[in-house]
Amino acid sequence: SLNPAMAVDIDRIAADPTDIPGPITRTTPDTVVVELETRELVAEIEPGVTFTYMTFNSQIPGPLIRTRVGDTVDLTISNHPENTMPHNIDLHAVRGPGGGAEDTLVMPGETKRITFKVTYPGLFVYHCAVPNLDYHISAGMFGAILVEPEEGLPAVDHEFYLGQHELYTNGQTGEGGHHEFDFEAMAREDPTYVLINGEKYAIGPQGYNDMQMNTGETARVYFAVGGPNLFSSFHPIGSVWDEVYPQGAILSDPHRYVQTTPVLPGSAVIATLSSPVPLPIKLVDHALSRVARKGCLAVIDVQGE
Amino acid sequence: SLNPAMAVDIDRIAADPTDIPGPITRTTPDTVVVELETRELVAEIEPGVTFTYMTFNSQIPGPLIRTRVGDTVDLTISNHPENTMPHNIDLHAVRGPGGGAEDTLVMPGETKRITFKVTYPGLFVYHCAVPNLDYHISAGMFGAILVEPEEGLPAVDHEFYLGQHELYTNGQTGEGGHHEFDFEAMAREDPTYVLINGEKYAIGPQGYNDMQMNTGETARVYFAVGGPNLFSSFHPIGSVWDEVYPQGAILSDPHRYVQTTPVLPGSAVIATLSSPVPLPIKLVDHALSRVARKGCLAVIDVQGE
Amino acid sequence: SLNPAMAVDIDRIAADPTDIPGPITRTTPDTVVVELETRELVAEIEPGVTFTYMTFNSQIPGPLIRTRVGDTVDLTISNHPENTMPHNIDLHAVRGPGGGAEDTLVMPGETKRITFKVTYPGLFVYHCAVPNLDYHISAGMFGAILVEPEEGLPAVDHEFYLGQHELYTNGQTGEGGHHEFDFEAMAREDPTYVLINGEKYAIGPQGYNDMQMNTGETARVYFAVGGPNLFSSFHPIGSVWDEVYPQGAILSDPHRYVQTTPVLPGSAVIATLSSPVPLPIKLVDHALSRVARKGCLAVIDVQGE
Ligand SMILES: [Cu+2]
Ligand SMILES: [Cu+2]
Ligand SMILES: [Cu+2]
Ligand SMILES: [Cu+2]
Ligand SMILES: [Cu+2]
Ligand SMILES: [Cu+2]
Ligand code: NA
Ligand code: NA
Ligand code: NA
Ligand code: NA
Ligand code: NA
Ligand code: NA
Ligand SMILES: [Zn+2]
Ligand SMILES: [Zn+2]
Ligand SMILES: [Zn+2]
Ligand SMILES: [Zn+2]
Ligand SMILES: [Zn+2]
Ligand SMILES: [Zn+2]
Ligand SMILES: [Zn+2]
Ligand SMILES: [Zn+2]
Ligand SMILES: [Zn+2]
C-alpha cells in the first residue's frame, strides 16, 4: 500500500558523530559564527525504505554548536529555495521569544540573522518550532548547542555527538517503499521507528563506524533527544556511565556509575564512559523494543587488549 | 456520534494560577484549617466540547494547601449532595493509611474531618483514591500541598501554581459535543487531551491571563502532575529553569539551569525562572504533540523593556 | 478466543521479597559463587490465567546477587534441558562484551561459567540478552545484582527485593485461558499486564505476605525494573521515600523525602522508608491505571501501635 521508494537526494542523512568542533581553549568570550541551512531531503531510513526528512544542514542531528559562557552567537539561518515549508529555530540556550524562533522564521529562499549571548552552561537542544513543530522535529529538525563553563570541561580522549528521535509513518517498520508522515500515529505517540542519528543502526558496523576508542581511554558523549514525544532510557551495553549530568545541566553535581539515565524529549545529557577491555559498547534506549524492533542503536568500537 | 454538548455547571474549571496562599512568615508551628468540597460538574474542555469533571472545590488543580514543617492540618472534606460518587483524599505529605484516604471516604451529602501533622518538607500531590482512582484523577481530582521548610523558601517576586493531567474520552480531540469517559483508552494510556489546569490553553491570552511578571523579576512555579498515567517533560519555552527541586523534594540540592525536568504522575516540582527580556514564556510538556494536538500549554506574560 | 488455561509447572512464579542474602559484613574482597538455571515454566498471572514464563531460577525477579566492591563473581548459568530457547545474561554491573552476554550464551542442556570482578557500587539490573531480548525480559528474565560499597550500606531493620516488568499477550487483562505472547503489542508498548514479581498482586494479602515490619523500624527496598519498555513512577502509598538513590547509583548523594521516583527500564533504585503508624504501605507505579487495571501492586504490612 506504500508508494515505491523514491530516488534519494542524499546518501546518508545520519551525522558523523565525530564531526564536531573541538574543546574551547579560549579564556575570554568571543563571537561564534553559525550558519544553518534548512533542507527537505529524501533519504533512506534503512535500505529500500525512504522518507522525506527535514534537516538543519542536511544531517540528523543538526550540527553541534559549541560555545563558552559569555560568548555571542552570530547565527544565520536560511531556507533552501527548493524547500516547501517555513522553518525556524528554538534554542534552549537562549532567553528570548520562542528561544529565537520568533526572529528566525524563514520562508523558502529566505535568510535571517540573529545574535544572542549564551549566559548559562549546559548541553541544550535546538529544534524547529513553526506550527506543527512536532512534525518538523519528527522529520529530523533538531540538534544541540553546547555552552561550556568558563573553565571548560575536563579533558577526555574522545568526544561523540548523537541524537535520538522518533518517526511516525503510514508504513510498517521495515516495509519497503516511500513512507509518508502519519499525524494520527504521532498523536498516539506510536512511532514506526525510534532512531539514533535518523537511520536504523546508523552508527556502527552497518553505518558510520567512526566512534572508535582504545581501552583505558575516556570518551564523553553529547546526546540530544529531539523526540518529539518519547524520552530515552540511555544505557551503554557492556559498560556504565562513569559520570552523568542529568538533562545536560552542568552546574549540578554529576551522578556517578549510572546504568541508565533519562533523557527527556527536548533535553540532552552529557555522560562519560571508559572500558578496560576491548568490546563494542552499544548505546541504546533501554526501552528495548525500540532497539530490537525500531532501529535504535549506535555502537562505540573499543579496541585494545 | 457524540451526544450534544451539555449545559455547563460552571464557566471555568481551570484554577487561577495566582489564587494561592502567600508565603508563610510564622516561625512557630500552627494549625492550618482546610475545607475541601468535592463537586462533579459539567464544564468545557474547549469551546463546544463538554465533559463531566470531578473536582476538589470546583477547580483544577484543587486548591494549593500551604503549610510549614511541624504544622497540624485540620482538614474537612465534604461530598456535595448532588454528586453521584464516593470520594476521598490521599495526600503524599501524610504518613498514614492511604495517605488519609481511609479516614476521608465520603458518600454524597457526607462530611468527614481529619487532623494530621506535616513532618517533612516538599511539594506533594494529593488526589482522590477511591476504587477507579485513575478515573477520578483523570476527571480532575488532584492538587498539591506545599510543606515549607522551617526557614521558608527564598523570597521571589511571583508565585504560580499549575497542574497537568490527561483526559480519556470517547471522542476525538476537538470534536464538538459531550465527551464521555473512556476506560479502554485510559488502560492503553492513550489520552484525548493532555491539559494544564483542566482546559485546553486554559492559562494565557485565551484563558486566565494572570501569570504576569516583569523583566528582572523572579517567579517560582509549583507544578503538580495528577496523571493518572503520563509524566510531564516540563519546559519553559524561551527560558530555562534557574533552579529545580526534582519531584518536589526540597531537601535535596537544587539542579541549576535545567532545560526540561521530569514530573512524574503523582509527583510535583518546584522550579524558578526569570527573564531579562519581555516575552511570553510558554510552559509546556516537551512531548510536543501534547502541546500541538492535545491542549497542553500555559503562558507567563513577561512585561518590560 | 484464547486456548484453555494450561496445567502449571509451578505454583508461584513470584519471588519471595524477603528471600535474599543478608548484608555483607566482610571487610575484604571475596569470591561470590552464583548459580543460575534458566527455566521456561507455565504459571498463573492470576487465578485461571496462565502464561509460559521464562525465568532465572524459576522466580521473578531472578535471585538478588549480593556482592561488595572488589569482589569476584564466579557465575554458572545453565539452560534446563527441557527448555526450547537459548538464553544468556547481561549484568549492568559488568564492563565487558554484552555485560557478560557474549560469554554466557547457553543452548538447552548447556552450562557455562564466567568470572568477573565488580568494581563500582550500586544496584544493577541483569537480564537475558539473546535476540528478541525484549520478549525474554517480558517473559520474566530479569533480576538485580547489588554491589555494596566497601563500607557497606547503613544498617536497617528490614530489606525487601522486588521487580517490575510488563507482559504483552494476545488476551485481555483478566481473560481466563492461556495467554500467548504478542509481539505487536510489545512493539506498540501496550502491555496486557504490568506486574510486580510477575503476578497480579503477587506480594501482599493475596500472595506472599512476607514484607512485614513494625512501626518505628526502617526498611530498604531494592527495586529493579526489567521493562522491557516501561519505566515505573515508584511511590509508597501512605508513606514517602526517606532516602532515594536515583537509578541505583549509590555514590551520588541521596534525594530525601521523595514522593515518587523514576525507575527506568533496565534500571533499579535503592530507597528506604519507615512508618510511625501501623498500616499497609502499598508500593505502586503511580501510573495508576497499571495499578487499577493491570495488576501492579506490592504491600508492606506495618504492625504496631
Ligand atoms: Cu521546519
Ligand atoms: Cu524546545
Ligand atoms: Cu473521587
Ligand atoms: Cu498518590
Ligand atoms: Cu533468554
Ligand atoms: Cu540492559
Ligand atoms: Na506506521
Ligand atoms: Na505508545
Ligand atoms: Na478518544
Ligand atoms: Na501506550
Ligand atoms: Na523551547
Ligand atoms: Na492483549
Ligand atoms: Zn521546521
Ligand atoms: Zn583514542
Ligand atoms: Zn546492559
Ligand atoms: Zn474521587
Ligand atoms: Zn511583578
Ligand atoms: Zn540529583
Ligand atoms: Zn532468555
Ligand atoms: Zn522488624
Ligand atoms: Zn500516595
CB contact, 8 Å: C144 with chain A? Answer: no
What residues in B contact C215, CB-CB < 8 Å?
none
Of the listed ligands, the closest to the CA of A215 is 14
Output the average pLDDT for chain C. 97
pLDDT at C122: 98
Is the confidence at residue A271, as pLDDT, over 90? yes
Is the confidence at residue B13, as pLDDT, over 90? yes
Is the confidence at residue C81, as pLDDT, over 90? yes
Q: What is the mean pLDDT of residues B52-63?
A: 98
Q: What is the mean pLDDT of residues A159-172?
A: 98
Chains with ≥3 Cβ pairs under 8 A against A?
B, C
pLDDT at B253: 85
CB contact, 8 Å: B174 with chain A? Answer: no
| SS (HEC) of C228-285 | CCCCEEEEEECCCEEEEEHHHCCCCCCEEEECCEEECCCEEEEEEEECCCCEEEEEEE
What residues in B contact C293, CB-CB < 8 Å?
134, 183, 186-187
Q: What is the mean pLDDT of residues B128-139?
A: 98
Is the confidence at residue B1, as pLDDT, over 90? no
Q: Looking at the partner chain, which of C97, C249, C266 has a beta carbon nearest the beta carbon of A257? A: C249
Of the listed ligands, the closest to the CA of A219 is 14
Q: What is the mean pLDDT of residues A224-230?
A: 98
Rg (CA), chain C: 18
CB contact, 8 Å: A132 with chain B? Answer: yes
Measured CA to CA, the distance from residue A26 to residue A149 in angstroms comes to: 11
pLDDT at C16: 97
- C245-285: per-residue pLDDT in tens? 999 999 988 999 999 999 999 999 999 999 999 999 999 99
Question: What distance in Å separates residue B118's CA from the closest CA in chain A?
Answer: 29
For residues B135-167, b (16+ Cβ closer than 10 Å) or e, as one string? bbbbbbbbbbbbbbeeeebeebebbbbbbbbbb
Contact present, A110 and A78 (Cβ < 8 Å):
yes
Output the average pLDDT for chain A. 97
Residue C178 C-alpha to ligand 14 middle, in angstroms?
A: 53
Residues C227, A259: C-beta atoms closer than 8 Å: no
Contact present, C131 and C270 (Cβ < 8 Å):
no
Is the confidence at residue A283, as pLDDT, over 90? yes
| Nearest alpha carbon to residue C290 among B53, B123, B266, B225 | B266
Is the confidence at residue B146, as pLDDT, over 90? yes
Residue C108 C-alpha to ligand 5 middle, in angstroms?
A: 11
Residues B97, C290: C-beta atoms closer than 8 Å: no
pLDDT band per the 50, 70, 90 thresholds, residue B24: very high
What residues in A contact B240, CB-CB < 8 Å?
92-93, 95, 120
Output the average pLDDT for chain B. 97
pLDDT at C109: 98
Q: What is the mean pLDDT of residues C215-236?
A: 98
| Nearest alpha carbon to residue B185 among B224, B228, B143, B226 | B228
Measured CA to CA, the distance from residue C239 to residue B68 in angstroms comes to: 18
Contact residues for A267 (Cβ-Cβ < 8 A; gap 6+): A125, A224, A225, A231, A247, A248, B233, B235, B259, B260, B286
- C19-70: per-residue pLDDT in tens? 999 999 999 999 999 999 999 999 999 999 999 999 999 999 999 999 999 9
Is the confidence at residue C13, as pLDDT, over 90? yes
Is the confidence at residue C4, as pLDDT, over 90? yes
Contact present, B228 and B243 (Cβ < 8 Å):
no
Q: What is the mean pLDDT of residues C103-109?
A: 98
Residues A249, B233: C-beta atoms closer than 8 Å: no
Residues C253, A257: C-beta atoms closer than 8 Å: no
Residues A132, B294: C-beta atoms closer than 8 Å: no
pLDDT at A228: 98
Task: Supply C185's cell numbers.
Answer: 503489542
pLDDT at C199: 98
Is the confidence at residue A299, as pLDDT, over 90? yes
Residue type, C190: D
Rg (CA), chain A: 18
CB contact, 8 Å: B287 with chain C? Answer: no
pLDDT at B278: 98
User: Which residue out of A259, A294, A297 would a mutagenesis test of the C interface target, given it has the greatest number of C Cβ atoms within 10 Å?
Assistant: A259
Chains with ≥3 Cβ pairs under 8 A against B?
A, C
Residues C95, A276: C-beta atoms closer than 8 Å: yes
Residues B288, A229: C-beta atoms closer than 8 Å: yes
pLDDT band per the 50, 70, 90 thresholds, residue A82: very high
pLDDT at A252: 83
Residue A8 C-alpha to ligand 13 middle, in angstroms?
A: 20
Q: What's the distance, Cα to Cα, between the start and end of chain A in Å?
A: 51
For residues B76-102, b (16+ Cβ closer than 10 Å) or e, as one string? ebbbbeebebbbbbbbbbbbbbbbbbb
CB contact, 8 Å: C233 with chain A? Answer: no
Residue type, C77: I
Is the confidence at residue A126, as pLDDT, over 90? yes
Question: What distance in Å separates residue B224's CA from the closest CA in chain A?
Answer: 18
Measured CA to CA, the distance from residue B268 to residue B127 in angstroms comes to: 12
Q: Which domains does chain A have, with CATH numbers?
A: 31-148 (2.60.40.420), 158-303 (2.60.40.420)
Q: What is the mean pLDDT of residues A278-293?
A: 98
In the beta sheet, which residues pair with residue A151? none
Residue A92 C-alpha to ligand 11 middle, in angstroms?
A: 5
CB contact, 8 Å: C261 with chain A? Answer: no
- A178-221: per-residue pLDDT in tens? 999 999 999 999 999 999 999 999 999 988 899 999 999 999 99
Q: What is the mean pLDDT of residues B171-179?
A: 98
User: Which residue out of C264, C286, C293, C299 would a mutagenesis test of the B interface target, given it has the greatest number of B Cβ atoms within 10 Å?
Assistant: C286
Residue type, C160: F
- C136-153: per-residue pLDDT in tens? 999 999 999 999 999 999
Residue A237 C-alpha to ligand 15 middle, in angstroms?
A: 4
Is the confidence at residue A113, as pLDDT, over 90? yes
Chains with ≥3 Cβ pairs under 8 A against C?
A, B
User: Which residue out of C89, C91, C92, C186 would a mutagenesis test of the A interface target, given it has the greatest number of A Cβ atoms within 10 Å?
Assistant: C92
CB contact, 8 Å: A256 with chain C? Answer: yes
Residues 12-41 of chain B whose Cβ lies under 8 A from any Cβ of chain C: none
